Amino acid sequence: MKKTKAQLSIFIVLGVLILIFLFIVFYYIYSSYASPDRLKFERSSIASYMQACVDKTSSDALKLAGRQGLYTAPKDALANVSYLLKGNLNKLPSQQAIEQDLSRYVEQHLLACLGNFAEFEQLEWSVSYEQPKASASMNLNDVSFSVSFPVNVKQQDLTISLNQFSVKQDIRLLYLYRIIEKMLATLQAEQAIDLTDMTNYNINLTVFPYQNASVYALEDPEHMISGKPYLVMFAVK
């Protein structure tokens, strides 16, 4: 009986030691993964860190606007896909309105992408900044974003100041926008869209019914975003 108890005690001790060992291993793995070691108090390192979020938020804005009928926050929509033609009323937003919407999305989501500079605080850097101001521009073969984001990062007596960021997303949104303009004009004239004609634009067009409306999906196989062809969807009723 005593021997059994002794063996059981040994197993308990070994179990506790194994748990402690595993805890230490996982702690160091997590720490090495989560710690901001990739950040250095260098202008290029901090600029690259912030630029990555400018790239991400602008890409997210384009993907969301594409899926939701050229709006990042649709108001009149069918399952989050905006109506661009409803009761013969053309609801296509202007180019300027789309650019402002994309800009606003970047402004509203950039700080969240940066984690409100939590990693900087882990490194005991003090950060002061102004709210970002973004400006998107739809070009024929890309969408460019310019972001004014004054940031001062301080470590002891040293300060690194950053201000301007920019990125070009290889998405020909203006090209697709003009195709959609023509499609809506055709539909307003109560004419059918020639699906085969879309091949002349190097665009894949799919139309499918949903509830009491039709959803149009334009896919651009020549311009990828996140490894997939860029997609614009809109609804017609």
Using an 8 Å Cβ cutoff, are 147 and 55 in contact?
no
Specify the pLDDT at position 190. Answer: 83
Gap between the Cα atoms of 79 and 188, Å rounded = 23
Tokens representing 19 are 């748990």
Nearest CA-CA partner of 134 in 118, 145, 125: 145
Specify the pLDDT at position 34. Answer: 39
Gap between the Cα atoms of 151 and 227, Å rounded = 32
Specify the pLDDT at position 78. Answer: 94
Using an 8 Å Cβ cutoff, are 222 and 203 in contact?
no
**Residue 11 to residues 1, 3, 15: CA-CA distances in angstroms?**
15, 12, 6
Residue spans per domain, the chain: 43-236
Low-confidence ranges of the chain (pLDDT < 50): 2, 5, 8, 25-36
Specify the pLDDT at position 194. Answer: 81
2 phi and psi angles, rounded to 5 deg: -60, -35
pLDDT in tens, 151-196: 999 999 999 999 999 999 999 999 999 999 999 999 999 888 887 7
β-strand partners of 4: none
For the residues of 148-212, what is the DSSP string, one character each? EEEEEEEETTEEEEEEEEEEEE---HHHHHHHHHHHHHHHHTT----GGGGGGGT-EEEEEEETT
Specify the pLDDT at position 36. Answer: 44
The pTM score is: 0.83
